[in-house]
A = this chain, B = another copy of it.
Amino acid sequence: MAEILVTGFEPFGGSAINPSGEAARALDGSVVNGDRALGVVLPVSWADSHGELYRAIEDVKPDVILCLGQSGRGFIALERIAINCCEGPDNEGVEGSGRPAICGAPDGLFSQLPLGCLKDAVNRAGIPAEISNSAGTYLCNYVMYGLLHYLREAGSDTLAAGFVHVPSLPRQVVTGKGRGKPSMSQDLINEAVRVMLSTLG
């Protein structure tokens, strides 16, 4: 029996909910394709998100790691690369200021997920998915970069690891900064995550 780690984020930017954190919570404790899933919600914090991710990896020693975050796009976005650059204010008001995610580490790190297979599997389930060439420079990219750097440094046995952006929820695009953006319901997001985990299992 394999171990699966799914992470999402807490809400940020004034929103009361984050569909990536909700997906991690929904998966937590469930069995996908015979494998046990642990769901963890990470803080939107330059200081703490890497530490909490690494602690979960050390506790679980997962075979599969799928990190999730919220985007403004209408499809499941399978991120190809994380970059060594941090921008924007986290939930504690700390600015990324263009600093590297990890000093002296490579400029970019490729996902360790079979992106084309995952895209096809999600699409076959009737859910829009695309491979994306940029995870941005905010906390999503930071956690993806930290994940991939940690696994390389650890010489880890993890079989598959990477980051996927999920759309905002319908209620998040009614007013405020999200208004007018595309969205996806939580049910469909959770289904897409389950399809990806089954494909990786």
Contacts and interface: CB of A to CB of B under 8 A. Distances in A.
Q: Taking the full assembly, how many copies of this chain does it contain?
A: 4
A201 interface: no
A60 interface: no
A112 to B, nearest CB: 11
A173 B83 contact: no
Nearest to A181: B74
A74 B126 contact: no
Contacts of A185: 184-185, 187-188
Contacts of A133: 83, 134, 136-137
Interface in A162-186: 169-171, 173-175, 179-185
A174 B106 CA distance: 32
Contact of A170 (B126, B130, B134, B169): B126
A108 interface: yes
A107 B133 CA distance: 12
B128 A183 contact: yes
A88 to B, nearest CB: 12
A57 interface: no
Contacts of A123: 174-175
Contact of A107 (B108, B136, B137, B182): B108
A80 interface: yes
A183 B85 contact: no
Contacts of A134: 133-134
| Closest 5 pairs between A and B when the two form their complex, measured CB to CB | A108-B108, A182-B182, A126-B171, A134-B134, A74-B182
